[in-house]
Structure 1
Amino acid sequence: MARRNRIVYGAAVLASALVLTACGGDGDSGEDDEIAGVQTPTEEAPEPEPSEDPEETEEEPADGRPEIDLGPDFENVYEGEPTGDPVVDAALRDLQGFEDAYAEAIVHHESDRPAVRYYATGDALNQVIQVLDGIFAEGISNTGTARYFNMAVTPIDDVSATFSYCRDFGQVNTTDFETGEVLEEGDPTAPASQYSGRLELNDEGVWQTVGYDRVADSSECQ
């Protein structure tokens, strides 16, 4: 079964100011004149209670993990079922969080998104920032769907593990970040790449990616 990580948001709603204009007439106009259509609060029609601030009622993620917004034109799809091992499944979830955080930074051109440093540290974080700087300098981004499969985590001890997975970018387009123009379409025939690396469990219970390597055209990803 594929797990889709895509946050689709609707169009923004623009609020415009309501301007009340008083028109002159033959009669005198005093300060106590009522504006048509506006009801003066009375005991029978009490003034309504102010509505709650949307920011105060918005719920935070239950586990404290940062929300990740991949935008309307990009998604990561993760294939595979839970293993049933709580440690392995937790590590796989956070490994997916690392990839989502990386993608979020690319589609928004923002390397300081909270999820980047939440899911990556050490050498892995330095690698990510270096790659992002190059992407931003080129002015490019991505649209489409990236597919992840053969995801595996092998615990070493209580606080460290190794991982590997395959990533298929055959349906991902390279675009101009400013204009959205497709500069290079994805190649469905392109072979998937294999990634491997190391995870470490931090004091907050997050399996952070601390290092990774890429193996292009791996036979394990055919």
Structure 2
Amino acid sequence: MNRRFLPVAVAITASTALLLTGCGSGGGDDASDKIKGAGGDKDTPASASASAKPDGAKRPEVKLPKSFQITFDSWTNSDPKLQAILDDGKQRLLASYAAVIDGNPRHDAFTFYSEGDALRTGTEWVKGFTDKNLVLIGKGRVFKPQPRMSPDGSGTLFYCVDEGKGSTKDTKTGKVTGTPADDALVLYRTKLAKTKNGIWKTTMVQTERGACK
């Protein structure tokens, strides 16, 4: 089975033809909704440095190497509460990529922004790469974000990822495997919980190929 570029998903499913589309064990609010529209070598590790948001909480912001870059389109919202979900959701996605590139399933930033089922299955996802000496290279694009607040105080964040210009690289053989164009768009459905320090941690992730158009 060839391993392919797949943004941080969740559970690794044996039925995936090319690689790691994942599906979480739980369903977030409005989980049936659909969004319409739509690495580097180990000697060049992603780095994380602590930063503080207006809420005062320190967060490990992630920097990816030039060999693997992600762009976020329209990642802003006029509502500060929804913007906070966008900000921490973005960092969690970047941290998962950094964990793969660093070859570390317990990457500090990844474990900081993840908890519960998202931490458990996300760790398995990262190991799916690291166990085979694979890193991410190329480019990815994240777009069409839909952040929401739920009545129970939790948050949801849906977004699309275009993996068409992303690939995996075997650090031992140098072999590069690209993402097929007809499989490049992935819908992410995530659920988040806010800590007492104001940090939105991702607790559940579901992915679906072909749901972003």
TM-score between the two structures when normalised by the length of structure 1: 0.67
How far did 1:158 drift? 7.0
- State the partner residue of 1:98: 92
User: Whole-Å Cα distance in 2 between the matches of residues 68 and 178 of structure 1?
Assistant: 26
User: Whole-Å Cα distance in 1 between the matches of residues 67 and 142 of structure 2?
Assistant: 17
Out of 89, 114, 118, the residue aligned to residue 120 of structure 1 is 114
Query: Superposition pairs for residues 3-82 of structure 1, below 5 Å?
Result: 60-63=50-53, 64-82=58-76
- What is the one-letter code of the residue matched to 1:209? T
User: Are residue 159 (structure 1) and residue 153 (structure 2) matched?
Assistant: yes
- State the partner residue of 1:207: 200
- State the partner residue of 2:123: 129
How far did 1:117 drift? 1.4
How far did 1:129 drift? 0.5
Out of 118, 121, 135, the residue aligned to residue 141 of structure 1 is 135
Task: State the percentage of identical aligned residues.
Answer: 24
Q: Specify whether residues 81 and 134 from structure 1 end up closer, same or farther in structure 2 by C-alpha distance, changes over 3 A only.
A: closer
Unaligned runs of 5+ in 2: 1-43
- Check conservation: 1:171, 1:187, Cα contact below 8 A: no
- Tell me the secondary structure at the aligned position of residue 164 of structure 2: strand
- Check conservation: 2:186, 2:207, Cα contact below 8 A: yes
How far did 1:69 drift? 2.9
RMSD: 2.1
- Check conservation: 1:146, 1:171, Cα contact below 8 A: yes
User: Whole-Å Cα distance in 2 between the matches of residues 133 and 185 of structure 1?
Assistant: 19
User: Whole-Å Cα distance in 1 between the matches of residues 148 and 200 of structure 2?
Assistant: 12
User: Whole-Å Cα distance in 1 between the matches of residues 193 and 172 of structure 2?
Assistant: 37
- State the partner residue of 1:183: 176
Unaligned runs of 5+ in 1: 1-10, 12-58
Out of 111, 115, 135, the residue aligned to residue 105 of structure 2 is 111
- Check conservation: 1:164, 1:194, Cα contact below 8 A: yes
How far did 1:204 drift? 1.7
- Check conservation: 1:173, 1:182, Cα contact below 8 A: no
- Tell me the secondary structure at the aligned position of residue 133 of structure 1: helix
- Tell me the secondary structure at the aligned position of residue 61 of structure 1: strand
How far did 1:182 drift? 3.9
User: Whole-Å Cα distance in 1 between the matches of residues 190 and 116 of structure 2?
Assistant: 12
Q: For 1:133-175, what per-residue CA distance to the aligned partner results, in whole angstroms no more than 9, with x for missing partners?
A: 1211111111011111111111014731112111111000110
How far did 1:178 drift? 4.1
Q: For 1:195-221, what per-residue CA distance to the aligned partner results, in whole angstroms no more than 9, with x for missing partners?
A: 112111012211111001111111xx1
- Tell me the secondary structure at the aligned position of residue 60 of structure 2: coil
Structure index of larger Rg: 1
After TM superposition, which residue ranges in structure 1, 4 or more long, deviate above 6 angstroms?
A: none
